[in-house]
Amino acid sequence: MASKIGKILVVDDNLGIRRALEILLPMHFAEVKTIPSPSTLVSSLEQFRPDVVLLDMNFNTSINTGNEGLYWAGEIKKMVPEVEVVLFTAYADIQLAVEGMKRGAFDFIVKPWDNDKLVEVLTSARDKARKAKGRDSSASGLRITDTGHPERSEGSMYWGTSKAMADIRKTLDKIAPTDATVLITGENGTGKDVLAREIHAHSLRSGKPMVAVDAGAITETLFESELFGHVKGAFTDAHTDHVGKFEQADGGTLFLDEIGNIPLHLQAKLLRVIQNRSVVRVGGSQAIPVNIRLICATNMDLQQLVREGRFREDLYYRINTVHIALPALRERKEDIVPLAQLFLERYAQKYHRPLTGLAPEVASMLTEARWNGNIRELQNCIEKAVILSEEKNLTARDFQVAPSGPAPRMTGEAEEESQVREAMERCNGNISAAAKMLGVSRPTLYAKLKKYGL
């Protein structure tokens, strides 16, 4: 039996569950407090100062989708990042519990629960919380803070063993120390932004900032202000001077993602700044020099857009000094299993899972899957499998991957429209879920939906 140390706060509106836990948990925790509703959660955190919160995901309120539990889990981690949250959920809400873990929850327990499993998870959460706070066996104060829970960096580029990636790495070694403008193309999820960061990290500008801009997410009315800046009084809401992205990146690297989504009439303004290497803030008259290294990326066929008159040819050649085309994951199958293992190790550590590897049947299953979302889809798939797994190895039943078979090959906007349509259908019209599946922001997805009339 675990030592009786630490404090646990249980938040559940079911009286029978609270009474059962009031009998079980005092055998493992020094102090146990139960409350029926999140309405007193904040005051309980301040007064009781728990190490662990066991939080139900649904309460007898107007909200009954599990979102209330997700909301309060997030609020707890904002107020007291050192407190560990374990979610209490019904089997039907496992997907929500997985989302809760991505937001910082320690783990989840499915009702009806197994006592040994429940105690194991809760005591592990307690030990982690107490270690983080540097506590001894006696209870001490818990500092309430307004800071959020920081995300860990997920590392640099995984090059793998494919010839295509080896060639790209050779190219990077040649161009990184220069100021050559780079255009990175590839399907969604192939790692264009990661490659851009890798180029910057190996450049002579690595000590300076790299500023990333999702060009597809900027509305036309704010395009110039966001990129070039504005002066006070330039428009109604311009209460102060604003430094644009070009100036923010001065001395470093500016990364323009989804450059193919910039409207034609704004491309001319972008071209002028790139050519002159100076900006004029909206409402201003002074040309401000900017010293940047430019990297652009797109999943679209810019040459086709040029032929159709929807992308300026002069801008295309200006940003295309060096072109790097990232291969789809299905074109580098030898890297799928090593990537999966890398993600397994990362998420096993993040979610406190004692996983050691992949079961034998998993390797062939992952290798033959379609992975239309490429590395990003594989990463999300492994993350979810790690969260749901209860074995030492990931097995086939832990995965939900696309059926094997040849992936559709389309180019340009036809491919993008198909991907957007498929994501919206698979997510039943949920904008947030579809945006996450596609690996784009909500504003970007809204723009694409409008663009394709979906």
CATH number for the domain spanning 372: value is 1.10.8.60
Shared domain check, 299 and 349: no
Tokens in use for 338?
């090593």
Shared domain check, 225 and 105: no
Q: What is the pLDDT of residue 91?
A: 64
Give the residue from 308, 325, 342 where a domain finishes: 325
Tell me the C-alpha to C-alpha distance, in Å, between residue 268 and each of 254, 265, 274, 315. Answer: 18, 6, 10, 8
Residue 406: is its pLDDT beyond 80?
Answer: no
The whole-angstrom separation of Cα 374 and Cα 377 is 5
Shared domain check, 191 and 312: yes
DSSP-based three-state secondary structure for 278: strand
Q: Residue 140 — very low, low, confident or very high, per pLDDT cuts 50/70/90?
A: very low
Q: Which residue has the higher pLDDT, 247 or 445?
A: 247
Q: Residue 186 — very low, low, confident or very high, per pLDDT cuts 50/70/90?
A: very high
The answer as to whether 202 is a domain residue is yes
Average pLDDT over residues 24-53: 88
The whole-angstrom separation of Cα 374 and Cα 384 is 16
The answer as to whether 238 is a domain residue is yes
Residue 380 backbone zone (phi > 0: left; psi -120 to 50: alpha; other: beta) = alpha
Give the residue from 95, 113, 133 where a domain finishes: 133
Residue 178: is its pLDDT beyond 50?
Answer: yes
Q: What is the pLDDT of residue 32?
A: 94
Alpha-carbon dihedral 115, 121, 124, 130, rounded to 10 degrees: -100
Shared domain check, 118 and 73: yes
Q: What is the pLDDT of residue 146?
A: 31
Q: Which CATH number covers residue 54? A: 3.40.50.2300
Q: What is the pLDDT of residue 415?
A: 66
Residue 15: is its pLDDT beyond 70?
Answer: yes
Q: Residue 92 — very low, low, confident or very high, per pLDDT cuts 50/70/90?
A: low
Q: Residue 241 — very low, low, confident or very high, per pLDDT cuts 50/70/90?
A: confident
The answer as to whether 77 is a domain residue is yes
Residue among 321, 338, 60, 72 nearest 182 (CA): 321
Shared domain check, 298 and 237: yes
Q: Residue 397 — very low, low, confident or very high, per pLDDT cuts 50/70/90?
A: confident
Residue 306's H or E segment, with its range, is helix 302-307
Average pLDDT over residues 323-329: 95
Residue 404: is its pLDDT beyond 80?
Answer: no
The whole-angstrom separation of Cα 299 and Cα 444 is 13
Shared domain check, 226 and 206: yes
The whole-angstrom separation of Cα 386 and Cα 35 is 31
The answer as to whether 140 is a domain residue is no
DSSP-based three-state secondary structure for 183: strand
Give the residue from 373, 398, 423 where a domain finishes: 398
Q: Which residue has the higher pLDDT, 422 or 57?
A: 57
Contact partners, residue 289, CB within 8 Å, separation at least 6: 277, 278
Shared domain check, 360 and 287: no
Q: What is the pLDDT of residue 312?
A: 95
pLDDT-above-90 percentage for the chain = 38
Range of lowest pLDDT (219-228, 232-241, 283-292, 375-384)? 232-241
The whole-angstrom separation of Cα 212 and Cα 100 is 28
Are 279 and 320 in contact by the 8 Å Cβ rule? The answer is no
Residue 22: is its pLDDT beyond 50?
Answer: yes
Angle between helices 374-388 and 336-350 (to 10 degrees): 40
Residues 292-328: b if buried by 16+ CB within 10 A, e if exposed: bbbbbbbbbbbeebbeeeebbeebbebbeebebebbb
Quote the domain boundaries for residue 82. 7-133
Count of the separate structural domains present in the chain? 4
The answer as to whether 220 is a domain residue is yes
Average pLDDT over residues 343-348: 88
Average pLDDT over residues 288-302: 94
The answer as to whether 363 is a domain residue is yes
The answer as to whether 171 is a domain residue is yes
Shared domain check, 362 and 339: yes
Q: Is the dihedral of CA 374, 267, 168, 192 positive or negative?
A: negative
Shared domain check, 178 and 314: yes
Average pLDDT over residues 88-106: 79
Average pLDDT over residues 390-404: 71
Average pLDDT over residues 2-10: 82
Range of lowest pLDDT (3-17, 286-300, 305-319, 420-434)? 420-434
Tell me how many degrees the CA angle 178-262-452 measures, rounded to the nearest 5.
Answer: 135
> CB count, 10 Å around CB of 284?
16
pLDDT tens, residue by residue, 41-70:
887 888 888 999 999 987 755 444 556 778
Q: Which CATH number covers residue 178? A: 3.40.50.300
Q: What is the pLDDT of residue 428?
A: 66
* pTM as predicted: 0.61
The answer as to whether 146 is a domain residue is no
Helices (H), 32-179: 41-48, 67-79, 94-102, 115-133, 163-175
Contact partners, residue 251, CB within 8 Å, separation at least 6: 205, 208, 209, 291, 292
Q: Is the dihedral of CA 94, 96, 97, 99 positive or negative?
A: positive
Shared domain check, 430 and 392: no
pLDDT tens, residue by residue, 143-166:
333 322 223 345 568 888 888 999
Residue 255: is its pLDDT beyond 60?
Answer: yes
Alpha-carbon dihedral 130, 133, 137, 141, rounded to 10 degrees: -120
Q: What is the pLDDT of residue 65?
A: 52
